[in-house]
Amino acid sequence: MSGFKKFTDYLSLIKFSHTVFALPFAFIGFTLAVVYFHNVFRWPLLIEMLLCMVFARSAAMSFNRYLDRHFDALNPRTAKREVPAGIIKPQHALLFTIVNSTLFVATTWFINPDTHICFYLSFVALFVILFYSYTKRFTALCHIVLGVGLSLSPIGAFLAVTGHFALLPLFFSFSVLTWVAGFDIIYALQDEVFDRDNKLHSIPAALGVKNALLVSTILHILSASFVIGAGIIGHFNWIYWIGATFYVSMLIYQHLLVKPADLSKVNMAFANTNGFASVVFAVFTIASLLV
């Protein structure tokens, strides 16, 4: 029982449920490479792609919890997280980061065996996703860096299959970048005062709630534009456009939920709305490719 409890503690540490944000876009990139660009489907490659996603995200989240443990302990909203609460020791969270980082890089070695391009680029990807945890200490653009980290999922999955870059998957990567940066700003609204008092940087701390929501809106308009652009240049069928419509609707909906004078529904906008947006959009996009 204690072993299972420890396992669930680590799942909570890395917020495993939030995998629904980036993973569906990785499936889009993978399917795009196989179907649209006529590459061979291989189960081992799909499993390797999934393992890379799990290892990379686990490394990034555990490192963030390790690095932010002192700030988390001071913030009433985060004080009960596993590391500041003493459920997981800081050194164990750091070890978990190192193990997952190593497994991520090692897994990429078996992808693209002819060129090992994913292996060489894995160090760049690892730097980005780990470096994000430092950014709140010196720039309000930390949300953009987080977006860049998650935007690697569709182009990374595409690259794993094809071994080369292409324009169409980049549209999906840019849609993820602007989508994630936009909803991370909404999430950061909860800590506007705390960040400012502790000299941490974020868009809400720099611009205030009202202007931060405006920036988030602009980013989500850009995200919708990239999704629409992908549909146009990819000549996707009507199934894709149903998913795209739902995705854009979810972007609009979360901005209707959160108002400058009422932040009570931030968590609903952050987790539920964006989780549904990602999964449903991916399902319709993949269906569009397969039909």
Is 10 part of a structural domain of the chain? no
Is 228 part of a structural domain of the chain? yes
Q: Which uninterrupted H or E stretch holds 266?
A: helix 266-267
Helix (H, G, I), strand (E, B), or coil: what is residue 150?
A: helix
Is 5 part of a structural domain of the chain? no
Distance CA 79, CA 49 (A): 34
Helix (H, G, I), strand (E, B), or coil: what is residue 199?
A: coil
Is 171 part of a structural domain of the chain? yes
Is 12 part of a structural domain of the chain? no
Is 119 part of a structural domain of the chain? yes
Show pLDDT as tens, one digit a residue, over the chain (291 residues).
477 788 899 988 888 777 778 999 999 999 999 999 999 999 999 999 999 999 999 999 999 999 999 999 999 999 999 999 999 999 999 999 999 999 999 999 999 999 999 999 999 999 999 999 999 999 999 999 999 999 999 999 999 999 999 999 999 999 999 999 999 999 999 999 999 999 999 999 999 999 999 999 999 999 999 999 999 999 999 999 999 999 999 999 999 999 999 999 998 888 889 999 999 999 999 999 999
Task: Give the torsion through C-alpha atoms of 213, 136, 29, 272, to 10 deg.
Answer: -50
Tell me the CATH number at 211: 1.10.357.140
Is 3 part of a structural domain of the chain? no
* CB 77, CB 190: distance < 8 Å: yes
Domain with 129, as residue range(s), is 19-290
Is 99 part of a structural domain of the chain? yes
Q: How many domains does the chain have?
A: 1
The angle formed by the CA atoms of residues 261, 132 and 184, to the nearest 5 degrees, is 25
